[in-house]
Amino acid sequence: MLLELKNVTKSYKKGKLALDDFSAELSPGIYGLLGANGAGKTTLMNIITDNISADSGEILYDGRDVRKMGKLWRSKLGYMPQQQGLYDDFTANRFLWYMAALKGLKKKDAKEQIEALLKTVDLQNDAHKNLGGFSGGMKQRILIAQALLGEPEILILDEPTAGLDPRERIRIRNRISEIANDKIVILVTHVVSDIECIADRVILMKNGRLIKNDSPTGLIKTVSDKSFEVSCTKKELHELQSKFPYGNVIQHGDGMVFRIVCDDCPEGFAKSKNNIGLEDVYLYYFDYMSE
């Protein structure tokens, strides 16, 4: 199972490039897609799911052009968009039956899958409750369930933990990790901790281009010698933040530590002693490198 994105380019009005010669290869595993707003993530997802067409380039699945696969290609996709309207007066069960019908599932297959998926997302006891009464986390779980209908080989999840409290975020992350076996899972998110916990590889996008494609550990190594910190008071913190807008505040013991990620150690700073993570990677590539 191999998804190849080859030199995919897409521009909108006035020639603005949303995707600029984007190329990547994806095999089974969880891929975190990370980038600032406007990086081209949504455009890329819309092209993969055949909602819009690229200006140039191609997408191949096991060597076949997905544009020529048509309905067969769409049957291999499971998509959870960031904002999907839910009918508040639908029960969870009715909603999944509705989505199964749209996907063309046979009744027998739909029944078996719906029962199994409700258990997978831990909503079997809420199957006959109206979606309007669901919490944010429950709604996200039912949306993951509909994406899994039809047993797709490629699963695209756009901001699956957006707006959730820490407990629900952990719960959703665990569910994604459990269902990822033998699938290509693309997880689009701004929540760096989600990617750090479960992604096999992280794709960094900037201005429509791929700038890094590596494991979380590999990416962290790229900034391991670029992380510097200094202990500070609250008053000093405000001064530091005005001077280094790409910095991060870390509570350490009874005090505060201000950390920055940059190429050269500023005066008064020392190499970071605390754990370096994907947050530092994000600050380096999307904040510091934009200065």
Nearest by Cα to 141 from 86, 188, 193: 86
Mean pLDDT of all residues belonging to the chain: 91
Asked if pLDDT for residue 69 goes beyond 80, the answer is yes
The pLDDT, as a whole number, for residue 85 is 77
Asked if pLDDT for residue 271 goes beyond 90, the answer is yes
Q: Is residue 43 part of a domain?
A: yes
Total domain count, the chain:
2
Asked if pLDDT for residue 161 goes beyond 90, the answer is no
Is the distance from CB of 111 to CB of 45 less than 8 angstroms? no
Are 194 and 245 in the same domain?
no
Are 226 and 281 in the same domain?
yes
119 Cα distance to chain centroid:
24
The pLDDT, as a whole number, for residue 65 is 95
Asked if pLDDT for residue 291 goes beyond 60, the answer is no
Asked if pLDDT for residue 83 goes beyond 80, the answer is no
Q: What helix, strand, coil percent values describe the chain, rounded to 5?
A: 40, 30, 35
- Over range 158-166, report the average pLDDT: 84
Asked if pLDDT for residue 113 goes beyond 90, the answer is yes
Q: Is residue 246 part of a domain?
A: yes
Range with lowest mean pLDDT among 138-147, 187-196, 224-233: 187-196
- Over range 181-189, report the average pLDDT: 91
The pLDDT, as a whole number, for residue 22 is 97
Confidence of residue 38 (pLDDT cuts 50, 70, 90): confident
Are 8 and 42 in the same domain?
yes
pTM of the prediction? 0.90
- For residue 212, count other CB atoms closer than 10 A to its CB: 16
Q: Is residue 119 part of a domain?
A: no
The pLDDT, as a whole number, for residue 159 is 87
Which residue range is the domain that position 234 belongs to? 221-290
Please provide the size of the chain in residues: 291
Are 188 and 226 in the same domain?
no
Asked if pLDDT for residue 136 goes beyond 80, the answer is yes
65 vs 252, residue with greater confidence: 65
Confidence of residue 132 (pLDDT cuts 50, 70, 90): very high
Name the percent of the chain lying above pLDDT 90. Answer: 67
Q: Is residue 193 part of a domain?
A: yes
Are 2 and 68 in the same domain?
yes
Supply the CATH number for residue 64's domain: 3.40.50.300
- Over range 170-180, report the average pLDDT: 86
Asked if pLDDT for residue 234 goes beyond 80, the answer is yes
Name the percent of the chain lying above pLDDT 70. Answer: 99
How far is CA 100 from each of CA 90, 129, 145, 148, 149, rounded to the nearest angstrom? 14, 18, 11, 10, 7
Are 261 and 210 in the same domain?
no
